[in-house]
Structure 1
Amino acid sequence: MFGDKKLGFGCMRLPLLDAGDPTKIDLEQTEKMVDLFLQQGFTYFDTGHPYHNGFSEKVVGTALVKRHPRDSFTIADKLPMFRQPREDELPGIFQEQLERLQTDYIDFYLLHNPHGEAYENAEKVHAFDFVRKLKEEGKVKHIGFSIHDSADHIDRILTLHPEMEFVQIQLNYIDWENEGIQAKKCYEVCQKHGKPVIVMEPVKGGTLVNLPEAAEELLKNADPNASLASWAIRYAASLDGVEMVLSGMSNLEQMEDNLSYMKDFRPFSKAEYETVGKVVGIINSSIAIPCTACQYCVKDCPKQIPIPTYFALYNAEKQDNKHAWKSQGDYYASLASRGSAASDCIKCGKCESLCPQHLPIRELLQDVAREFEG
């Protein structure tokens, strides 16, 4: 389905002529990147309706589709469920995407982040049926969904919609054990259902190439010739069932680096896993809230607030200090929509009396609420 190369060209962070304007894409550099990517035997291009304020799809059409034979590459695009479209709007959105891409079919078509209210709306407007019919008509080749949400929610979707052929999830070595992102649990759900995994955010938007000095030194000592990005991307690509790892390459140098170690991909060794484990320890030693996720605080909470999960998301948010948009907000919104938000805390204090770490949970929940709700 995906070919034998595991690196995908993520088109959400294309090179820009003006760093302050996401619509001012450097077309000349993008074309060079597209050409090099194809020359090295890679074929998977991933875009989305909102990327670069709609200009990503257009540039993919101009830089890729109009310049190369249609059977020499595959395109992944997404139906924007976060917009909560009406049922009668779905055909128009898809047609607009075909026109932007300058193609008459899309190889991989995903429901884009059907979480929380967006998922309820997806069911209401029969979005799953819509993409299934597109596949039956030959307008798309394969259908799946891309999501930032809990393992339980992914399990629910795959149970109700086994026709989904693959799942795109956020997965990287710092989020692997994070109770908010649940990368490991989400991956395991996909494995349980026998669904191939597409990985997004393998370097967490650049966070894993901007490491604490001690962590960077550890990786450089382990392999002086390996880039920091290579550790993150190879980690994700080494997992069984991961068919594609997307990298949002913003310049030709980043692409050249990624191609250098993904052209002849070498899976992680035991020693490399051990090294990354030490890196995770260094990063986590500086986390904002030292919660151990023991769950003692949740059992007697009258509002059943998922306190450790919210703390994990807060920590991840604070670790990512590079990008304006961060996925933790989506995870938080989805969880809060199905239960209690951090701001629902009634300050009864039961949680603090049970916390082995003696954390000021009531105060910290206010910080979480300010971060994600304010």
Structure 2
Amino acid sequence: MQYRIHNKTGAEVSLLGLGCMRLPKPDPSSEGIDYAAAKAMVDTAWQRGIRYFDTAWAYHGGESELFIGKALQDYPRESFFLADKMPAWALESKEDREKVFSRQLEKCGVDYFDFYLLHSVQNSNWDRYEELEVYNFLARKKAEGKIRRLGFSYHGDVPLLETVLKAHEWDFVQIQLNYLDWELQDAKTQYRLITEAGLQCMIMEPVRGGALADLCPEANAILRSAAPDRSIASWAIRFAAGLPGVLCVLSGMSTPEQLEDNLSTMEAFTPLSDAEKEALDAALAEYRKARTIPCTGCRYCLPCPMGVAIPDVFRLYNHKYAFSHSAESLKNAVGDLEGGPAACVACGQCLDKCPQSIAIPTHMQEICELVK
């Protein structure tokens, strides 16, 4: 495993981190965790050199913190870095800050967090974080030794990022960065602003929720021709890890196979060569020709009050229609889905929750038209 040094504290962080949002499940439709399968993955990760584990209040319906706390009890506390996050949506008052933070320490079974973040800072919640003085509260926790490094994860636009960076003293920033969002969501500018501020980046969604692990057939063929022995996903991991301002690349791995692939990539990590960058540009050009819905499957939009399985509907659209344009295949797949698009009433409750700013009701209506 390769490691990078945190420029503020000297901490030696594994270049690959385990994100605990997409752990193995006992049932694909559930929010729960298959503890035995997930624990085996954590053990493999630790034994192979992963030292950064990222969880959050809402992951796996609140079970992620409990799981990772138990899973890491087998290892010395100083041998790993644990990251958790303060959720704006769980805060009704200033008193809730202490309630949430204390409960997180309890759930994770630790006395301190190595890295701690304001969760999913964006245009719709930044004012709330400021009104409740969340940074000031967390800065006090840092002074008490209960937080070692304080940062924020980001899903807003560039102007707000400039505001947030200047508002307080940060130790790191976590952003969504991959070769698709480099231009699509202007991750390029976000990365530049963060590094110009003297901060390093934690990378989330390097494979965009798995979307960049299997592109369209034309794009896959280009990458396989350029590197027959490498997985499609490895290109995305190497793109993110190759940036000098990146401290750690987080991957939400769901299977032992995904873990092994990422470990193999990072254990023998090399940045993309110029020839590989050209191949990736060509593959991306082919991929962009398809009209995919940019859902990462984060499930922040759930629960839908009408029971629509929003991420599943979008996943089926991308897999069954975006590349093949087979409305019949999409119709058959959606017909077997509990919580299909027809149940959407366009109430809009999901809109502010989506980190990707997807026009969810509009897409649901379009999919309904396709499968009539």
TM (normalized to structure 2)? 0.77
- In structure 2, how many angstroms separate the alpha carbons of the residues matched to 1:228 and 1:327? 32
Mark the runs of 5 or more structure 2 residues left unpaired by the alignment: 1-5, 294-313, 320-338, 340-349, 367-372
Q: What's the CA shift for 1:328? A: 9.2
Residue 57 (structure 1) aligns with: 65
- In structure 2, how many angstroms separate the alpha carbons of the residues matched to 1:271 and 1:326? 40
Structure 1 residue runs of 4 or more that deviate by more than 4 Å after TM superposition: 317-320, 324-328, 366-371
Instruction: Give yes or no for contact 1:33–1:252 (8 Å, CA) kept in 2.
Output: yes
Q: What's the CA shift for 1:175? A: 1.0
Cα RMSD after superposing both structures: 2.6
Instruction: Give yes or no for contact 1:49–1:80 (8 Å, CA) kept in 2.
Output: yes
Residue 14 (structure 1) aligns with: 23
Q: What's the CA shift for 1:210? A: 2.3
Structure 2 counterpart of 1:5, from 6, 10, 14? 14
Aligned amino acid, residue 31 of structure 2: P
Structure 2 counterpart of 1:173, from 159, 179, 182? 179
Residue 82 (structure 1) aligns with: 89
Structure 2 counterpart of 1:185, from 181, 185, 189? 189
Residue 96 (structure 1) aligns with: 103
Q: Deviations over 1:311-336 (max 9, x none)?
A: xxxxxx899837x9999933538xxx
CA gap 1:130/1:34 in 2 versus in 1, 3 angstroms: same
- In structure 2, how many angstroms separate the alpha carbons of the residues matched to 1:369 and 1:320? 10
Structure 2 counterpart of 1:223, from 186, 206, 227? 227
1:332 is paired with a residue whose SS is coil
Residue 127 (structure 2) aligns with: 120
CA gap 1:320/1:200 in 2 versus in 1, 3 angstroms: farther
Instruction: Give yes or no for contact 2:24–2:38 (8 Å, CA) kept in 1.
Output: yes
CA gap 1:155/1:369 in 2 versus in 1, 3 angstroms: farther
Structure 2 counterpart of 1:39, from 20, 41, 47? 47
Instruction: Give yes or no for contact 2:142–2:149 (8 Å, CA) kept in 1.
Output: yes
- In structure 1, how many angstroms separate the alpha carbons of the residues matched to 2:113 and 2:354? 29
Are residue 134 (structure 1) and residue 141 (structure 2) matched? yes
1:330 is paired with a residue whose SS is coil
Q: What's the CA shift for 1:5? A: 2.5
CA gap 1:146/1:4 in 2 versus in 1, 3 angstroms: closer
2:281 is paired with a residue whose SS is helix
Aligned amino acid, residue 274 of structure 1: E
Instruction: Give yes or no for contact 1:83–1:118 (8 Å, CA) kept in 2.
Output: no
Aligned amino acid, residue 34 of structure 2: D
CA gap 1:285/1:318 in 2 versus in 1, 3 angstroms: farther
Residue 330 (structure 2) aligns with: none
Are residue 146 (structure 1) and residue 146 (structure 2) matched? no
> How many pairs were matched up?
308
Residue 38 (structure 2) aligns with: 30
- In structure 2, how many angstroms separate the alpha carbons of the residues matched to 1:29 and 1:233? 23
Residue 322 (structure 2) aligns with: none
Aligned amino acid, residue 244 of structure 1: C
TM (normalized to structure 1)? 0.77
Q: What's the CA shift for 1:286? A: 2.3
Instruction: Give yes or no for contact 2:351–2:357 (8 Å, CA) kept in 1.
Output: no
Task: Map 1:242-257 to 2 at 5 A.
Answer: 242-257=246-261
1:185 is paired with a residue whose SS is helix
- In structure 2, how many angstroms separate the alpha carbons of the residues matched to 1:192 and 1:280? 27
Residue 277 (structure 1) aligns with: 281
Are residue 321 (structure 1) and residue 318 (structure 2) matched? yes
Instruction: Give yes or no for contact 1:82–1:112 (8 Å, CA) kept in 2.
Output: no
Q: What's the CA shift for 1:62? A: 1.1
Instruction: Give yes or no for contact 1:8–1:43 (8 Å, CA) kept in 2.
Output: yes
- In structure 2, how many angstroms separate the alpha carbons of the residues matched to 1:139 and 1:196? 21
Residue 201 (structure 2) aligns with: 197
2:83 is paired with a residue whose SS is strand
Q: Deviations over 1:171-193 (max 9, x none)?
A: 11111111xx2211111111221
- In structure 2, how many angstroms separate the alpha carbons of the residues matched to 1:140 and 1:173? 32
Residue 357 (structure 1) aligns with: none
Q: What's the CA shift for 1:85? A: 3.5
Are residue 208 (structure 1) and residue 212 (structure 2) matched? yes
Residue 307 (structure 2) aligns with: none
- In structure 2, how many angstroms separate the alpha carbons of the residues matched to 1:11 and 1:211? 24
Residue 363 (structure 1) aligns with: none
Q: What's the CA shift for 1:86? A: 1.5
Q: What's the CA shift for 1:117? A: 3.4
Aligned amino acid, residue 46 of structure 1: D
Q: What's the CA shift for 1:52? A: 0.1
Greater shift in the superposed pair: 29-38 or 236-245: 29-38
Q: What's the CA shift for 1:83? A: 3.5
Instruction: Give yes or no for contact 1:108–1:140 (8 Å, CA) kept in 2.
Output: yes
CA gap 1:41/1:318 in 2 versus in 1, 3 angstroms: closer
Q: Deviations over 1:180-214 (max 9, x none)?
A: x2211111111221110011001110111121000
- In structure 2, how many angstroms separate the alpha carbons of the residues matched to 1:78 and 1:326? 22
Q: What's the CA shift for 1:369? A: 11
Q: Deviations over 1:83-121 (max 9, x none)?
A: 443211101100110111011111000000122231101
Residue 238 (structure 1) aligns with: 242
Residue 359 (structure 1) aligns with: none
Mark the runs of 5 or more structure 1 residues left unpaired by the alignment: 290-316, 334-341, 343-365
Identity %: 40
